[in-house]
Amino acid sequence: MTASRNEDFNYRLWRYDGAPGELIPLLQSAQDHFGYIPRRAISYISEVTGVPESEVYGVITFYSQFRLQPMGKYVIKACDGTACHVQNSRTIIDTLEDELGVEVNGTTGDGLFTLQTVACLGCCSLAPVLMINDDTHGKLTPQSVRKLVREYRRREESARREDASCARA
Partner 1 sequence: MKQVIVGMSTCGLSAGSQKTYDRLAELLAANPGAFELKSSGCIGMCYREPLVEVRENGSRVIYGAVTPELADAIISEHIKGGRALEEHVALRICEGAEIAGAEAPAQRGQVRIVLRNCGLIDPESIEEYEAAGGYRALRKALFEMTPDGIVKEIKDSGLRGRGGAGFPTGLKWSFAASQPAGVKYVVCNADEGDPGAFMDRSVLEGDPHSVIEGMIVCGRAIGASFGYIYCRAEYPMAIKRLTIALDAAREKGYLGTNILGSGFDFDVKIKQGAGAFVCGEETALFQSIEGKRGMPRIRPPFPAEKGLWAKPTNNNNVETYANVPWILVNGAAAYAKYGTEKSRGTKVFALAGKVRNGGLAEVPMGIPIDDLVFKIGGGIKEDRAFKAVQMGGPSGGCIPASLGTTSVDFESIPATGAIMGSGGMVVMDDQTCMVEMARFFLDFTQNESCGKCTFCRIGTLRMLEILTRITQGEGRPEDVPNLLELGAQIKESSLCGLGQTAPNPVLTTIRYFADEYEAHIRDKRCPAGSCLALVDFIIDPEKCTGCTVCAKHCPVNAISGERKKVHVIDTSICAKCGKCITSCAFGAIYKK
Q: Could you list the residues that contact partner 1 (CB under 8 A)?
A: 20-25, 27-28, 51, 58-59, 62-66, 80-87, 91, 94-95, 98, 118-127, 129, 134-138, 141-143
For residue 163, the minimal CB distance to partner 1 (Å) is 27
For 99, residues 6+ apart whose C-beta sits below 8 A from its C-beta are 145, 146, 149, 150
Tell me whether residue 1 or residue 119 sits nearer to partner 1 (CB atom).
Answer: 119
Distance CA(88)–CA(93), nearest Å, equals 9
Tell me whether residue 9 or residue 79 sits nearer to partner 1 (CB atom).
Answer: 79
Q: 132 forms bridges with which residues in the sheet?
A: 76, 135
Tell me whether residue 111 or residue 122 sits nearer to partner 1 (CB atom).
Answer: 122
Tell me whether residue 72 or residue 145 sits nearer to partner 1 (CB atom).
Answer: 145
Q: 117 forms bridges with which residues in the sheet?
A: 78
Tell me whether residue 11 or residue 20 sits nearer to partner 1 (CB atom).
Answer: 20
For residue 97, the minimal CB distance to partner 1 (Å) is 9
Distance CA(7)–CA(105), nearest Å, equals 30
- The separation between CA 8 and the C-alpha centre of its own chain, rounded to angstroms, equals 20
Residue pair 79/129 in contact (Cβ under 8 Å)? The answer is yes
For residue 162, the minimal CB distance to partner 1 (Å) is 24
For residue 169, the minimal CB distance to partner 1 (Å) is 32
Instruction: Give the burial class of 115: count Cβ atoms within 10 A of its Cβ; 0-12 exposed, 13-18 middle, 19 or more buried.
Output: buried
For residue 7, the minimal CB distance to partner 1 (Å) is 24
